[in-house]
Amino acid sequence: PPASTSSDEEDDSDASTKPMRSEKKKNPASLFQTGGDPPKEKKTKKKAPPKAAESEEETPETPQKNSNKKGKGKKSKKVKEERSPSPIIEVDNLEEFVLRPAPQGVTVKCRVTRDKKGMDRGLYPTYYLHLDNDKKVFLLAGRKRKKSKTSNYLISIDPTDLSRGGENFIGKLRSNLMGTKFTVFDNGANPDRANANWSNVRQELSAVVYETNVLGFKGPRKMTVIIPGMNADNERVPIRPRNDNDGLLMRWQNKNMDSVIELHNKAPVWNDETQSYVLNFHGRVTHASVKNFQIVHDSDPDYIVMQFGRVADDAFTMDYNYPLCAVQAFAIALSSFDGKLACE
């Protein structure tokens, strides 16, 4: 089972997070700040809950209805471990919403479905991202491009239009030849087509690096996620590389981390009883899979920036927190589906 036993996890976490609020618990937002004021002096920001996974249970405003369980929560002994739906989130302008960081203190809970039907969907499935609630609000669709030398996924805000030239194109995910490193771009222009002040050039939103371990890709994967930092106003610092040597991956490789934040997947723990590696997903993941992961900042491994995991053959939950936006999180999830990595 992907979730470790809930009882001691829960008691343990409740005991440890509540008192910490009054002590000096790190404000998760300060972990992602680069440029602007040093994080220490920023006292004005709203405090995000210390643990993403618990934010729902401990904020009374969130409705506790579990109407979209559909039997997924059966294995959990406690009510609060069932798969709770996403908090109510208004998606007024889809294009803005999917690029906007999650609000601090709110876990945006989504569901990814993989559609393999149709002539070439077996090879090139389409992936759909919806908010995980009763309305199933559509957010994004993604599909691998066919005639591309490297893995290249288009991300669109229209489930029926996955064309590069269409106005619904919102971003893309591109891998290196090995299929171990990925970069996520928004829908700006290629640097070759830059305007005078460079403002139309595409931004790099994220990069993902997969490390093979001794067993090749068997066993837990190691992921490094590199994202632009946030400025003092909690807005993403724009990273618009002028050439290939200036992107997130090169900055990270050259340890030039001025405006950049490095995250990692949380290492799962070996469980002798189940003979598998486990992570506690707090009832949001029900199937063991090598694709299940949680992304955290090394300085605060309790604050889950993003988690992703399987709940059915072609369905996955994807939850993200500040500072990620939907496009970043969805693209990171898409990278984990990629063929070269899927040596389960």
- The tens digit of pLDDT for each residue in 169-200 reads 999 999 998 889 999 999 999 888 888 888 89
Q: How far is CA 123 from CA 150, 173, 316, in A?
A: 14, 17, 19
In a domain, 227, yes or no: yes
SS3 230: strand
pLDDT score recorded for residue 213? 62
Measured CA to CA, the distance from residue 264 to residue 266 in angstroms comes to: 6
Q: Each residue of 120-138: pLDDT tens digit?
A: 666 788 999 999 988 889 9
Q: If you write DSSP's letter for every residue of 13-45 in order, what string do you get? A: HHHHHHHHHHTTPPPGGGGGB-SSS-GGG---S
Residue 262 domain-assigned (yes or no): yes
H or E stretch including 115?
strand 108-115
Residues 173 and 153 sit within 8 Å (Cβ to Cβ)? yes
Task: Tell me: pLDDT of 33 over 90.
Answer: no
pLDDT of residue 327: 97
Distance CA 343, CA 221 (A): 11
Better pLDDT: 270 or 141:
141
**What one-character DSSP code corresponds to residue 287?**
B
Residue 158 is part of a domain; what is its CATH number?
3.20.90.10
Rounded to an integer, the average pLDDT of 83-89 is: 69
Asked which of 49-53, 80-84, 146-150, 151-155 is least confident by mean pLDDT, the reply is: 49-53
Any domain includes 13:
no
CA distance to 5, 64, 67, 235, 308, per residue, from 282 (Å): 10, 15, 17, 29, 12
Residue 277 domain-assigned (yes or no): yes
Q: What pTM does this model have? A: 0.76
The verdict on residue 116 lying in a domain is yes
Residue 118: predicted pLDDT: 67
Angstrom CA distances, 300 to 27, 30, 162, 295, 311, stand at 9, 11, 37, 11, 27
How many Å apart are CA 158 and CA 168, to the nearest integer? 6
Q: Which of 228, 230, 291, 229 is nearest to 265 (CA)?
A: 291
Q: Which amino acid is at 132?
A: D
Q: 3-class secondary structure for 170-229?
A: EEEEEECCCCCEEEEEECCECHHHCCCCCCCECCEEEEEEEECECCECCCCCEEEEEEEC
**Mean per-residue pLDDT, 195-219:** 81
Q: For residue 265, list its beta bridge partners.
A: 295
Quick check: is 24 in a domain?
no
Q: Name the domain count of the chain.
A: 1
Does some domain include residue 1? no
For residue 279, is it within any domain?
Answer: yes
Task: Provide φ and ψ at 220, rounded to 5°.
Answer: -65, 140
CA angle 64, 70, 72 (to 5 degrees): 85
Q: What is the mean pLDDT of residues 8-27?
A: 40
Domain carrying residue 227: 85-337
Give the closest residue to 53 by CA, choosing from 93, 15, 19, 10: 10
Structure tokens at 2: 């992907």
pLDDT at 61: 36
**Amino acid residing at 44:** T
Q: How much is the pLDDT for 87?
A: 67
Bigger pLDDT: 231 vs 273: 231
- In DSSP notation, 300-315 reads EEEEEEEEEEEEETTE
